[in-house]
A and B are shown apart, each in its own frame.
Chain A
């Protein structure tokens, strides 16, 4: 599903953000990527979203090489990858329904599909009742649910979550993680970048630990070790 072979990424001179990384994530896996600031977690997400190009090595996602993607193919590739961020990145001037529908409009789904699919996914994240609310009227946890609904509405094979609980209290963080687990159980491969030790240690999933751009441990049912 996701394969990295000898991937390096440097921003100019100095220490590379990611150095000679090999990684294999299979279909249907749930993976935590942990590490302190500057360990290369965000760079990894950006490489997987094709926001950045590798300096060396190859990346394959969904049986597609990211190295040879043409500009026009990037948009199509991203439709198969859902993404959520720490700061939710919702459109502040549009309500919950429109925020989720936006993802479908962007990929030019017809209106009748949007009208059916958006309520489905809002029900799944438990926000069916609040479809008319604006983001500012929602709690942090609810906003992240909207972001998740938007990431999932196009049925991606892979969901990338960059610090999805970074702005949330512990209880809400667990609720969001529960939701990510459910999404994973439905067959979506989930990759979560996080700092949240409590969550990582309680969920008993595969844990990849990065340090200065290098994988220092990769354990099934792993734990977040202090580096």
Chain B
């Protein structure tokens, strides 16, 4: 197709939208709603995954040893744990370090009270390994393995927070997929209507075009462009809105749940949009393209 022809057909595509602007607007709004929801859910899901990952990386399994375990036994346990593929990091926490940490947290502001334990570490025999895993999915298996090792007294795991988050995340993903599919179908149906009306309005023109010797591609091009434009506009509006909203919402959540600021870290808006922007634009234009193609095939047997 020539550049001038593409220009001409693009202009006709714009004109089509103008000629039946009410249906075009309805289509843009539906695609907009679809992309907005998609963007919203996408942002929530990726942030959840990000948070879960953070939690997983920062929640460790604590391995405590038998009282009679000497350094050689402890070292051997460390080596065996380290050899496991699901382990990302293992840290040794001596009894003294454990007490220092505990003291800093629980005796903050009343250090003199802790002085009483000066020469008598209440956490003696509480030296431990903090074991960090890649994913909590294979944590259970690892815990069982460590519990079976000689010299291990107990293994503490704090999995609940991470698994709850994960469970909620997948539920959210399922619901959102269902909503998006329904909205997609509604959007395609509406575009179908919009293009059908466009074709009806231009029936005479199409007839003349065919008699003059227009190719199928030439007759169809303005309608495909119309669909793509509706999709593009429909996707662009909610993307701008989401971009502007994102930081405000993150700030709001963090200000409301101050105690969570240590655990919860949200993704940067640009990180989210790195994927969300192209995917949403493709989604919007894809809906527009599919909607118009279906209609053209049905109504424009040229």
A78: contacting residue among B1, B2, B211, B218, CB under 8 A: B211
Indicate the size class of the contact surface on chain A. Answer: 20 to 34
Tell me how far the C-beta of B59 lies from the nearest C-beta in chain A, rounded to whole angstroms: 65
Taking CB atoms, residues of chain A closer than 8 Å to B210 are 75, 78
With contacts A75-B214, A78-B213 taken as known, whether A108 is within 8 angstroms of B208 at the C-beta atoms is no
B213: contacting residue among A71, A75, A110, A111, CB under 8 A: A75
**Bound: A71/B215 CA distance, A:** 9
With contacts A91-B205, A91-B208 taken as known, whether A75 is within 8 angstroms of B8 at the C-beta atoms is no
Let me know if B4 and A106 touch, CB within 8 A.
Answer: no
Let me know if A106 and B205 touch, CB within 8 A.
Answer: no
Let me know if A107 and B214 touch, CB within 8 A.
Answer: yes
Most chain A CB atoms below 10 A, which of B1, B204, B212: B212
Closest to B218 in A: A106
Tell me how far the C-beta of A193 lies from the nearest C-beta in chain B, rounded to whole angstroms: 15
Taking CB atoms, residues of chain A closer than 8 Å to B177 are none
Taking CB atoms, residues of chain B closer than 8 Å to A154 are 212-213
A76 at the interface (CB under 8 A from B): yes
A79 at the interface (CB under 8 A from B): yes
B156 at the interface (CB under 8 A from A): no
Closest to A114 in B: B4
Taking CB atoms, residues of chain A closer than 8 Å to B216 are 71-72, 75
The DSSP consensus for interface residues of chain B is: helix
Closest to A113 in B: B4
**Bound: A107/B213 CA distance, A:** 7
Within 8 A of B (CB), among A72-115: 72, 75-79, 83, 89, 91, 102-103, 105-108, 110-111
A-B Cβ contacts below 8 A, count: 51
**Bound: A72/B210 CA distance, A:** 12
Let me know if B212 and A89 touch, CB within 8 A.
Answer: no
Tell me how far the C-beta of A81 lies from the nearest C-beta in chain B, rounded to whole angstroms: 8
**Bound: A103/B211 CA distance, A:** 10
Taking CB atoms, residues of chain A closer than 8 Å to B213 are 75-79, 106-107, 154
**Bound: A91/B206 CA distance, A:** 10
With contacts A72-B216, A91-B205, A106-B218 taken as known, whether A83 is within 8 angstroms of B211 at the C-beta atoms is yes
Let me know if B2 and A106 touch, CB within 8 A.
Answer: no
B212: contacting residue among A71, A72, A103, A110, CB under 8 A: A103
Within 8 A of A (CB), among B202-226: 204-205, 207-216, 218
Let me know if B212 and A107 touch, CB within 8 A.
Answer: yes
B20 at the interface (CB under 8 A from A): no
Taking CB atoms, residues of chain A closer than 8 Å to B218 are 106, 108
Closest to B6 in A: A108
B5 at the interface (CB under 8 A from A): yes
The 7 closest A-B pairs by CB, nearest first: A79-B213, A78-B213, A106-B214, A75-B215, A108-B5, A111-B4, A103-B212
Q: Which residues of B contact A (CB under 8 A)?
A: 1-2, 4-5, 8, 204-205, 207-216, 218
Q: Which residues of A contact B (CB under 8 A)?
A: 49, 51, 71-72, 75-79, 83, 89, 91, 102-103, 105-108, 110-111, 150, 154
For the A-B complex with A102-B209, A103-B212, A111-B4 known, give 7 more contacts whose Cβ atoms are closer than 8 Å.
A51-B211, A76-B213, A83-B211, A91-B204, A105-B5, A106-B213, A108-B5
